Structure 1
Amino acid sequence: MKMFANLMVGLVALLHVGFMVLEMFFWDHDVGAKVFGLSREVLHSSATLAANQGLYNGILAAGLAWALATGKRDVKLFLLGCVVVAGIFGAFTAKLSILFTQALPAVVALVLVLLSTPKAQAA
């Protein structure tokens, strides 16, 4: 079970690396236009905001990678919770699909982390 939990945490981290790359480097390009379905004008005018958002996704990915490397359950749970909240917020304020691409994988990882390590062992 712990292996599956760690694989899901790793997947969430990789997804956020992908989000970071899209938002920081491909936002105002053909790739960004296709992925996000926004006009070039909107993409161009919001590129700085997207890069900032991408940086935060990179920070989440780095934190999750650190939590995996150190085995810190509490850090995994905290960061996965942050991803879930961000995904729910994004789904309500931007696109419903964010609920499935960001929040759902984090919920699955969070549940697996909770189930894989009894609370007594977590300390």
Structure 2
Amino acid sequence: MIGYILVVLVSIEAIGIMLLEMFGSAQQQANAFELDESFVKIPEVKTLLANQGIYNGLFGALIIATLLLLTGPQQLLMLKLEMVFVLLAAIYGSLTAARKIIVMQGLPAFLALIALFL
């Protein structure tokens, strides 16, 4: 049960990240990703953030769809894969963008993954 609660939190977080990346203010985006606000205001960067945001939102939606549409071993397998994918994205993000991503996005996915295996 704890695993499923954590999975729901990971999906909510992914949708929240989407909202930040697509609709957040330049100041919010700059703080979240440890970037200069002037950089985030560049039109091409705004477009790139929105593109990244749609991926996060769709991933959050996929996790929710997995919970609602699948059952049994198929659901569990998909949730484990999705948590691994979130964890890998968080590791990459922490190495290339902001170190705090590993804690903010990776830790909940890691804890969910452990709970799903138990």
TM-score grouping bracket, smaller chain normalisation: 0.7 to 0.9
Following the alignment from structure 1 to structure 2, what is the Cα–Cα distance between the partners of residues 30 and 79? 30
Cα gap change, 1:96 to 1:40, in 2 (>3 Å): closer
Distance (Å, rounded) in 2 between the aligned partners of 1:50 and 1:104: 22
Q: TM-score, normalised by structure 2?
A: 0.87
How far apart are the structure 2 equivalents of 1:114 and 1:35? 31
Number of residue pairs the alignment of both structures matches: 112
Displacement of 1:96: 1.0
Q: Give, in angstroms, the shift of residue 94 of structure 1.
A: 1.1
CA deviation after TM superposition for structure 1 residue 37, in Å = 4.0
Which runs of 5 or more residues in structure 1 are unaligned? 116-123
Aligned to 2:76: 73
**Partner in structure 2 of residue 111 of structure 1:** 114
- Given candidates 25, 41, 44, the residue that maps to 2:41 is 44
TM-score relative to the length of structure 1: 0.83
- RMSD over aligned CA atoms reads 1.4
- CA deviation after TM superposition for structure 1 residue 85, in Å: 0.4
AA at the equivalent of 1:84: L
Q: Which has the larger radius of gyration?
A: 1
- Give, in whole Å, the separation in 2 of the partners of 1:111 and 1:40: 37
Per-residue deviation, 1:33: 3.5
